Structure 1
Amino acid sequence: MDKPSKAPTAAHTTAAQDTGLEGSAALSPIDSTKLSPPRIGTRILARERLHTQLFEARRRRCIVLKGPAGCGKTTAMASWRQMQLSLGFDVAWLTLTSGDNQLSRFLDYLLASLAQVDPTMVRDTLLLEGYSSDREAVERTVITLVRGIAAHPRELVLVLDDLHTLTDTSIHQTLQWLLDYAPDNLHLALVSRSSVPLSLARLRSQNLTLELDLRDLRFTAEEAEQFLKTQLGEIDPSDIQRIYRMTDGWIAGLQLVAASRKKGRQRKLDGAASGQPQAQLLDNQAFSNFFETEVLSQLTPAELELLRPLALCERFCPALCATLVNRTSAVVDAAALFERLESDNLFLIAVDSADREAWYRFHPLLRETLLKLFEAGGEAEQRAVHARAWTWFRDRDLLSEAVGHAVHGGEAGAAAKFVEQRLETLYAQGDLRMLVELVRQLPMEQLQASVSLRMLLVRMQIYARDFAACVEGIERLERDIPESAAEVRFRLTMLRAILAVQRDDTDAAVAILPQLLHPPKNADAVMIGGSTNVLSWLYMHCGEFELARRIQLDRPPLLINGTPLLGTTGGSLQGRCLIGLSLAMEGQMNQAERIYREVLFEAERGGKTCFDARCLATALLGEVLYENGEVEAAYQLLVNWVDIFERVSIPDSVLRVLEVLAKTRWFVGDHKGAFAYLRRLQAYASKLGLDRLEAHSLVTQVHWHLQMGERSAAETARARLDAIDACHPNAERSSLRAIHILAEHAHVRWLAASGDLDGASLRLNQVIALCESGGRQLGVTRLNMLGAVFDAQRRLMDAAREKVLAALRAGHRYGQVRSLLDAHPEALALISQIAEGETLDPVLTFYVERLQAAALPAAAEAVSRKPDASRKQLSSGLETLSARELEILRLLAQALPNKKIARALALSPETVKWYLRHIFTKLGVTTRDEAVARLREVELSAGEGRDR
């Protein structure tokens, strides 16, 4: 049997339509009933022919069941699911509705269904999903998901039921990618009333599909006879033949006839004998008409009264039914009726749920029939039922359903007030998904009538990076909020502060500093914590690192409903991250690392509430790992988080992540990959108008282009950097002062590459003085090391010696490694030369040895070659491949072209080609197909060995 789709609802203009929030990251909560198939009754007919077809196709990539409602698609899939489970397959199930016809919502449910099987499959993808509808970003999300599924140890079937309800072309493209990139252990089962909107030509040519339609799904004459006898006992063979002709094997029609006869309303089916033409039950309209006359008419008026209002709900239970009919005593009657209808297989489907209530859905054809009957009662009755449903769902904290019914029941004002009451609690819990889902359902007039809801819209626009709309919304609020409303105006100040952080605009933050320093007495914990964190961010960018830390250490305990405020942007975990960042900006990497790891530990335990802190701590820890020389560890930590940071984190996080990833690629010799990350940073910065971030990208481009002898490219980057610097002539006290330092640094590199070492040294001293005045010891150490190299090149060895020793002492004290080594390609050689001529104390001697070990690219390769779980499964033949080469080979096995592999691994296509040549050489093959065959052969052998 097929299941119900969402009931039609009254049209209304929503906030999502008018504010552009339809594609935001925030989605409605997961309805767990959609993640399980309907229960299979004990009287389900065994259909050997159909089941044999499905059994033989169990390892094919895609199975398609297409047919009209009521032809048994879902029941067939549910039976097949049980068979697959008995064979050791894992099965993920997702029932789709028209409410899922939005990419981010669909992805949310897709990942939830897979997580039911194994949360580790979607762990990395969950961090990416839902924040962008950008085509490339979604494709990267699918690739991440595919890699998670490929690592799953068992065969996996993903059933997507009622696929016809999804018409969004971006969803279709996402499914196409999932199908095209699917690993060998993934099998998709697509159930639809219409043709699936996917290209299956390649899979058909490879015999990797099974496509069944109504001809395969309808009962044969023998199956119809067996079904009717099961339902009705002995029945005249001529009656069986007439019923079969009337229904043409359509399962819903057979069920209706059986139901009619069970009720004792047998009518002669011979049209001639009755004087009436023989009815035909071959389509939905006939079903509806027949259902009304042969089934619903057999219900008592009281029973029909229980069912009619339920048509407005996607799911229901006896307690809800009693509320909708406004009769408390109806709970017992409803429970008995539902149990009987489900037991008799009369188009009522029981669905699993985490709570104690027994939940059900209607078959879509029954729901459509009941809805027509209910609508005949008039609009007033509909609104009254919606109003009761709103109260019932509200009292049980089912927020999204509550607000939806309130709006359609004429209670939009009450719904808006209800959302207002939940705003700060939901925000403090980190439940932005629920917040946006609630706002999405409210009419725009209700949003505009509430200052709190308008502020929520502005907050969502900040997260969506729609800064222009955000500024406009803040300006309108500024005009509308009276000066006397101190607490509300402080909330508006906080919106300005959050916007300033996301725009990397310390000048804007300084302008509202007095308000941030003096929150009103009635400001809540979220606002106080948020202002404290903004102040820390502002102070450290102004070079006042100790003050940035002190304001965190002195913050009072902040509680939400008696619980400490840890998560969200205003929580203490975010504040501790900022303490670590202030230490790192001073160069104290060891202390910073301890703080980041502690925050990560607590944030991972805190779940979604602490997601902001987890993002920031991860980004900052990646910087520390790289600085400590743990290059491969830094890369592995950050590579799968890039999309997340770009969409949800503050600019400082994005800067550090992309810079570190670029440096890790440069370190292993992947120069094209390194420049790809720098260009990504530049594009991100340019899109959002973040000049400081673009300057960081440009100065590194100048440095690396000069190292490669590409002076023209270096000059282009330097000219762009100078142009940005010229736009900020008076930035002595803001974060933008870093732009001038970076521009001067680029000129130092240019002069040195041009042979003007005297000019480079003179200008370098000025840059060092600027860094020292801002307290940025991390940069000072690196620049002093660069100055030592310049002195050595000018044969000023005494000066070089003093600078090297000073850099070593500072580097060891602060926990710096890569800062010294990255300063110049000749830095390590000079350090080693000076160390050999000095009698260093044991501590510095050990530190020099650490620098020498960290400088070798082989160190990173050695890390990559360490045995891991995946390599243990491989026998000889692939042992010579590095971890990166194995990764590329496995993506190759998923039929990904070079460009897709490059995008998935943040490499250039040329680098992928280079790796493939080496892979072919090591495996002794000449083609992609031969390499993939070797991989599958070895993995198959490993699997057989485990079985033995």
Structure 2
Amino acid sequence: MPEPDLIITKFTIPPVRPVALHRPHLLTILNQSYSIPFALISAGAGFGKTTLLSTWACQSTSQVAWLTLDEHDNDPTRFWTYVIAALRKACSPPIGETTLTMLYSLQPPGLRVALTPLINELAALSQDTVLILDDYHLIHEQTLHDSLQFLLDHLPASMHLLLASRADPPLALSRLRAKRQIIEVRETGLRLCGEESARFLKEVMDISLSAEEVAHLEKRTEGWITGFQLAALSLHRHTSVSAFLQAFTGNHRLVRDYVQEEILEPLPKEQQQFLLHTSVLERMNAETCQSLTGEQDSQQMLEALERANLFLVPLDEERYWYRFHTLFREVLLARLQATQPEQVPILHRKAALWYHQQGWLHEALSHATASQDFWFVAELLEGYTERLYLQGELKTLLTWIKHLPQEVLHAHPRLATSYILAFNMLSPFTDGVEKEYLNLLWMSMEQTLQNKDQAILTDAERDRLHHRMMILQVWKLGKKALSDGNVEQLNSLVESLQHLSLDDDVVWRQQLKGGVAMTARLSGKIPIMVAALQEIREMTRMAPNHYQEVQTLWGLITALIASGQLRLAHEHCQEFQQLVDHLGGPLPIAAYPDLFQAQLAYSWNQLERANSAAQRAIEKTAPMQYLDILMEAYEVTARCCMAQGDLTGAEDAVRQMESLHQSVGTLLFRSRIESLWVHLWLAQGNLTRAIDWAEHTSYRREFLVYNHESASLSLVRVLVAEQRYSQALQMLDALLEAAKQEARLRSLITVLSLYVATLQAAGATHEALQVLDRLLAEAEPEGEQRVFLDVGEPMHQILQIWLASHIQQLHGASPTLISYAQTLLAGFANEQRPKAEKKPILIGSSSFSYPPSQAVPLLAEPLTPREQEVLCLLAQGASNQEIATRLVISLRTVKKHVSNLLLKLMAQNRTHAVARARELSLL
């Protein structure tokens, strides 16, 4: 995760002036915040909000985190980064690492997800903690209001939020009032009145007025502290107090006139010039002032202005950083514009260059934009795009680029393409009002590519733009493929992209490999997908970003499962879980280990474990409606239910998938949902409905498209159920060839299993045995079981024949494969069949039988009378020693009989042998 540049004065409590008005009644009100979660100070500018909060913060016994907000903080990543920095400065131990990691991801989760671990860490703090947000009125991004409301809704008891704003924030204030969870200090409470007004003038401004004069000034200013302060500054230069008070009003326009006429004009020319030229700065130090004014003694000038009470506010104890009072700065800016308009863009450009040299991109770009030189802005911004991507500030990047006029943006293809990419990453499936703007950018970049003028683009720049447009085209085609399931156009891009050598920054290199991975996944080129994700993972490791690493590893595990590399996927799952634990288990990432566990457990026929893990994944992500995880988890649930005979539960799961799918509108999961319906209808004995689907489905014409593979296999199942074996085998031949060409092991094993079952159902046992040899050899290393069990009775029958023939040594199979086949038969023995009135006609039903000449022998070899006695005692739970005593034989002889029983019954252990004997009616 890149370390952002943070301005420490933003989260430093402003120092309290040595001479300040003491307001104990307001401090008493704020002290109630120790027992109430939220305090709001809402009033216009100049009413002393910041002074009150800093006074209270300095005397607080709690840990106080302070953050002064500005316009740049409307980016969610930047806002919460500063909040966490403030909390870290105040709290012990440091907190927020997990949230920061997620915020700086290239594809960050929602703010609620990112804030969850932060809230949990705050809840674990042993000491009361206060977070103060000053100038919150500068925040206008709705997502930030929503995220702050989320924090308030889940605020730990030891955590308190104080907020100062010129306007009421769009938070649930009414609800907080109803629950008595808010303290409010408003303008009426902050206004000076009576004795306070007199004390302020005497103690702070060193002016003594009569009670009548104080009352008059109070009426004119309406208790506005800055009005009192401005009036007092002017009074120092007036001999007639009454005449001044008659002319003075609290109108803000008149106040600005007074500032110009009464405060600025009496100052020496050099001080006036210094104030005017530095007014373009929101905060300043001696170096920035010198770069703008050329004043060598800028530090002494700042200190002199502070001593003169000229609205210069120190931002740290060292008097290094300062800012002007907001209204005073507005007066200065207005006068600068009126008297020296040509200097405004020059000063902003100087400020932009100074901040650029310091590496402070937000301040640099802000001043560059204020200079109105948008070519200059574009030049600076081009150098910052990669950094903004890596810092996760995509919304900020979009905002800055959108500021540029079209002619400037079209002349900077790197910025235009960065805008398209950033928008796609933030809103991959919704163009909305941006569609027309994005289309204009796209057409402009295509025109730029067609223009061969070297003055517009060099050959290297043209190649870079061409490659970026190819990557962006992947986004376009990817969205189209996700909506209509058509991936034909993506296939041509896979070959051209995977060998592309991109001379660009790390963001685009990652996007290149990500594009290869996505297109490969949609077009069924799974090995290419795995390789691309492994390359992305290496790039991620070079610039550590835990959240991005988790996302890449998630994609890699998904690809490994799709490719059939189950054991390697399982190894990566353990590493994945460690990363998730390190991040504090944020959702939806925390649900992926459960999903992967469910998918792998189902493949290995661990149905209870698979179902439990799937339910955990659903429970974690159902409130968020996270489609990817929910659809996969419901599919595992449906398959587990069908395997266990719970057809009602299976139907409920498929209906949940259908409902989710309709709510999103994509066709990505349609073929899988239809495939599950076909399985269910056949399991229910509803052949008519399955045949009707098969005759009308569009997948009949597109059965070789990888995205439709599950539907294509369901078509085969229906053909077999209709005993149309020849057509089923033709489809399987084509599917098998496609799987072989793309080296998709999972697809290969799935197709082979159906191939074996179809041959066996058709009575071609000899051919089925030949294909089964290959299937067992391919499937055994990964431990696949459900791929055999899900095709049902024909596979059960052919496995019995295969195992019997090898035990009788008619063929020479390895002990590993024999053990594997025994495990599969044990799975069949334990399978719970659907308890429906109608006989199921799924391939896994018993409606398919052998010709009499090919009946499966019950045992490879009959049991001897003694072995039958031993078997009966085993069923009673007797130990080997007990059997030896009962039958008056040696322990060695008992062990030999038990060994023979295991071999003849094709069992793995004593328990399995008893179950097998009961299945064969030997007990």
Q: 2:321 aligns with which of 347, 355, 359?
A: 359
Structure 1 residues 825 and 496: alpha-carbon distance in aligned structure 2, compared to 1, 3 A threshold: same
For residues 124 and 826 of structure 1, what CA distance do their matches in structure 2 show?
52
Q: 1:742 aligns with which of 680, 698, 710?
A: 710
For residues 850 and 321 of structure 1, what CA distance do their matches in structure 2 show?
83
Q: CA deviation at 1:208?
A: 2.6
Structure 1 residues 831 and 635: alpha-carbon distance in aligned structure 2, compared to 1, 3 A threshold: farther
Counterpart position of 2:567: 590
Q: CA deviation at 1:393?
A: 1.9
Counterpart position of 2:902: none
Verify the 8 A CA contact 2:135 2:166 in the aligned structure 1: yes
Matches for 1:852-891 after TM superposition, within 5 Å: none
Q: Say yes or no: does 1:395 pair with 2:357.
A: yes
Matches for 1:746-825 after TM superposition, within 5 Å: 746-747=714-715, 756=721, 763=728, 766-767=731-732, 770=735, 773-774=738-739, 775-779=743-747, 781=749, 813-814=781-782, 816=784, 823=790
Q: CA deviation at 1:293?
A: 5.0
Counterpart position of 1:500: 474
For residues 446 and 521 of structure 1, what CA distance do their matches in structure 2 show?
25
Verify the 8 A CA contact 1:451 1:477 in the aligned structure 2: yes
Counterpart position of 2:911: none
**1:133-165, CA deviations, whole angstroms, 9 ceiling, x for partnerless residues?**
99xx77777888767766766655444433444
Counterpart position of 2:256: 288
Counterpart position of 1:320: 288
For residues 797 and 59 of structure 2, what CA distance do their matches in structure 1 show?
69
Matches for 1:444-523 after TM superposition, within 5 Å: 444-463=406-425, 464-465=427-428, 473-482=441-450, 486-487=459-460, 488-489=462-463, 491-500=465-474, 502-503=478-479, 504=481, 507-512=488-493, 515-516=496-497
Counterpart position of 1:8: none
Verify the 8 A CA contact 2:103 2:392 in the aligned structure 1: no
Q: Secondary structure at the match of 2:697?
A: helix
Unaligned runs of 5+ in 2: 453-457, 602-608, 642-648, 808-814, 833-923
Verify the 8 A CA contact 1:781 1:820 in the aligned structure 2: no
For residues 80 and 849 of structure 1, what CA distance do their matches in structure 2 show?
76
Matches for 1:393-792 after TM superposition, within 5 Å: 393-423=355-385, 432=394, 435-463=397-425, 464-465=427-428, 473-482=441-450, 486-487=459-460, 488-489=462-463, 491-500=465-474, 502-503=478-479, 504=481, 507-512=488-493, 515-516=496-497, 531=512, 534-535=515-516, 583-594=560-571, 624-629=596-601, 655=628, 658-660=631-633, 663=636, 676=656, 679-680=659-660, 683-684=663-664, 686-687=665-666, 691-700=667-676, 703=679, 722-723=697-698, 725=699, 729=702, 732=704, 737-747=705-715, 756=721, 763=728, 766-767=731-732, 770=735, 773-774=738-739, 775-779=743-747, 781=749
**1:179-214, CA deviations, whole angstroms, 9 ceiling, x for partnerless residues?**
556565554434333344445334333333322222
Verify the 8 A CA contact 1:383 1:409 in the aligned structure 2: yes
Q: Cα RMSD over matched residues?
A: 6.1
Matches for 1:49-64 after TM superposition, within 5 Å: 49-64=25-40
Q: 1:68 aligns with which of 35, 44, 47?
A: 44
Q: Secondary structure at the match of 1:63?
A: strand
Q: Secondary structure at the match of 2:339?
A: coil
For residues 357 and 277 of structure 1, what CA distance do their matches in structure 2 show?
35
**1:553-610, CA deviations, whole angstroms, 9 ceiling, x for partnerless residues?**
9x999999xx9688899x99999987766543331122245457769989999x9xxx
Q: 1:309 aligns with which of 270, 274, 277?
A: 277
For residues 112 and 41 of structure 1, what CA distance do their matches in structure 2 show?
25
Counterpart position of 1:201: 174
Q: Secondary structure at the match of 1:278?
A: helix
Letter matched to residue 166 of structure 2: R
Q: CA deviation at 1:446?
A: 0.5
Verify the 8 A CA contact 1:63 1:211 in the aligned structure 2: yes
Verify the 8 A CA contact 1:600 1:617 in the aligned structure 2: no
Letter matched to residue 456 of structure 1: S
Counterpart position of 2:841: none
Structure 1 residues 850 and 173: alpha-carbon distance in aligned structure 2, compared to 1, 3 A threshold: farther
Verify the 8 A CA contact 2:594 2:616 in the aligned structure 1: no
**1:250-285, CA deviations, whole angstroms, 9 ceiling, x for partnerless residues?**
332344455557xx536443x2xx4x5535564534
Q: CA deviation at 1:348?
A: 2.8
Letter matched to residue 368 of structure 1: E
Verify the 8 A CA contact 1:761 1:790 in the aligned structure 2: no
**1:853-886, CA deviations, whole angstroms, 9 ceiling, x for partnerless residues?**
x999xxxxxxxxxxxxxxxxxxxxxxxxxxxxxx
**1:480-520, CA deviations, whole angstroms, 9 ceiling, x for partnerless residues?**
32486654245424432443263357533443567547757
Greater relative contact order: 1 or 2 (C-alpha under 8 angstroms, separation 6 or more)? 1
TM-score (norm 1): 0.64
Q: Say yes or no: does 1:189 pair with 2:162.
A: yes
Name the % identity: 22
**1:742-799, CA deviations, whole angstroms, 9 ceiling, x for partnerless residues?**
22334467789xxx48569984995587257414333455677789999999999999
For residues 771 and 803 of structure 1, what CA distance do their matches in structure 2 show?
12
Q: Secondary structure at the match of 1:313?
A: coil
For residues 444 and 661 of structure 1, what CA distance do their matches in structure 2 show?
47
Letter matched to residue 333 of structure 1: Q
Q: Secondary structure at the match of 2:47?
A: coil
Structure 1 residues 314 and 579: alpha-carbon distance in aligned structure 2, compared to 1, 3 A threshold: same
Q: CA deviation at 1:816?
A: 4.8
Verify the 8 A CA contact 1:60 1:209 in the aligned structure 2: yes
Q: CA deviation at 1:677?
A: 5.9
For residues 233 and 58 of structure 2, what CA distance do their matches in structure 1 show?
27
Letter matched to residue 177 of structure 2: R
Letter matched to residue 363 of structure 1: H
Structure 1 residues 298 and 692: alpha-carbon distance in aligned structure 2, compared to 1, 3 A threshold: same
Structure 1 residues 424 and 492: alpha-carbon distance in aligned structure 2, compared to 1, 3 A threshold: farther
Q: Which has the larger radius of gyration?
A: 2
For residues 790 and 358 of structure 1, what CA distance do their matches in structure 2 show?
82
Letter matched to residue 455 of structure 1: T
Counterpart position of 2:893: none
Unaligned runs of 5+ in 1: 1-25, 608-613, 647-653, 857-948
Aligned residues: 778
For residues 452 and 77 of structure 1, what CA distance do their matches in structure 2 show?
45
For residues 114 and 675 of structure 1, what CA distance do their matches in structure 2 show?
46
For residues 798 and 478 of structure 1, what CA distance do their matches in structure 2 show?
60
Q: Secondary structure at the match of 1:79?
A: helix
Structure 1 residues 524 and 515: alpha-carbon distance in aligned structure 2, compared to 1, 3 A threshold: farther
Verify the 8 A CA contact 1:387 1:410 in the aligned structure 2: no
Q: 1:251 aligns with which of 217, 225, 233?
A: 225
Q: CA deviation at 1:424?
A: 5.8
For residues 142 and 575 of structure 1, what CA distance do their matches in structure 2 show?
22
**1:64-88, CA deviations, whole angstroms, 9 ceiling, x for partnerless residues?**
322222212222233344455x14x
Counterpart position of 1:13: none
For residues 312 and 154 of structure 1, what CA distance do their matches in structure 2 show?
41
Structure 1 residues 831 and 682: alpha-carbon distance in aligned structure 2, compared to 1, 3 A threshold: farther
Counterpart position of 1:333: 300
Structure 1 residues 268 and 667: alpha-carbon distance in aligned structure 2, compared to 1, 3 A threshold: farther
Q: Secondary structure at the match of 1:315?
A: coil
For residues 372 and 458 of structure 1, what CA distance do their matches in structure 2 show?
38
Q: Secondary structure at the match of 1:413?
A: helix
TM-score (norm 2): 0.66
Verify the 8 A CA contact 1:662 1:676 in the aligned structure 2: no
Letter matched to residue 349 of structure 2: A
Structure 1 residues 83 and 330: alpha-carbon distance in aligned structure 2, compared to 1, 3 A threshold: closer
